Amino acid sequence: VINRNEQAKAVKMDRFKECTNGYTSVLDVLYGRILTISSELNIPARTAGIYELKK
């Protein structure tokens, strides 16, 4: 995921419901953080992220 904007952006996770069904969290591969899958994923300004789905 890449956010090239000057402001943080929220990605609505409803778009990916078919792919994320059955998963409860994601691993931020770059920083080792585990994030809960909720209705939105907040992406800070001018950053990129790689996320791995976790059950």
List domains and CATH numbers for the chain. Answer: 2-54 (2.60.40.1180)
Which of 34, 49, 51 is CA-nearest to residue 4? 49
- pLDDT, position 9: 96
SS in 3 state form for 16-52?
HHHHHCCCCEEEECCCCEEEECCCEEEECCCEECCEE
| pLDDT-derived band at 5, boundaries 50, 70, 90 | very high
| pLDDT-derived band at 7, boundaries 50, 70, 90 | very high
Sequence letter at residue 51? Y
pLDDT tens profile 14-24: 999 999 999 99
The pTM for the full model equals: 0.78
